Amino acid sequence: MFLFIDTCQKEKMEIVLLNFDCEIIDDQALKIERDHSEKLLPLIERFLKKNQTELERIKAIGVASGPGSFTGVRVGVATANALAYSLDIPVLSLKRKAGSKLVKRVFQNLNKHGFLKSAIPYYLHNPV
């Protein structure tokens, strides 16, 4: 299975679980008020439990690496990198452009582009 994380928006974050054929098994969005760092890991934990799976079954993590909320992008990318590192799995990043099409595109391109060991955030502007 693959896990995709999108924390680029200020008021919402989304996680998606895909099978190896890149079909969406489940997705969940959560309305937030800029408290990405407090909500993301508990959301992932509840989401995996709801889908009767564990982190160890995830074989790659995808992350929307921006543009978007500076803090949101940082939290999503850092979480994806930390989980991928701890599980010794690849992390894939893609600039956020087109909702669910983005999610499928990330994992469908696994073989074309190879694996990354860390995602790099993309910001439209330097932080103020």
What digits encode the pLDDT tens for the residues 55-107?
999 999 988 888 888 888 889 999 999 999 999 988 888 877 645 565 666 66
Query: Does residue 95 sit within a domain?
Result: yes
Query: Does residue 41 sit within a domain?
Result: yes
What is the domain-level CATH number for residue 29?
Answer: 3.30.420.40
Position 127 scores a pLDDT of 56
Query: Does residue 122 sit within a domain?
Result: no
Query: Does residue 128 sit within a domain?
Result: no
Cβ 2 vs Cβ 59: under 8 Å:
yes
Strand segments, DSSP code E, in the chain are 2-6, 12-18, 24-31, 60-64, 91-94
Query: Does residue 13 sit within a domain?
Result: yes
Cβ 6 vs Cβ 64: under 8 Å:
yes
Closest CA to 10 of 86, 76, 81: 76
Query: Does residue 120 sit within a domain?
Result: no
Residue 92 sits in which domain range? 2-113
Query: What does the radius of gyration of the chain's CA atoms come to, in whole angstroms?
Result: 13
Position 79 scores a pLDDT of 94
Query: Does residue 119 sit within a domain?
Result: no
Task: Tell me how crowded residue 21 is: count the other CB atoms within 10 A of its CB.
Answer: 7
State how far the Cα of 115 lies from the Cα of 120, in Å rounded to an integer: 13
Closest CA to 104 of 17, 22, 42, 32: 22
Quote the number of domains for the chain. 1
Query: Does residue 24 sit within a domain?
Result: yes
Position 92 scores a pLDDT of 84
Position 101 scores a pLDDT of 61
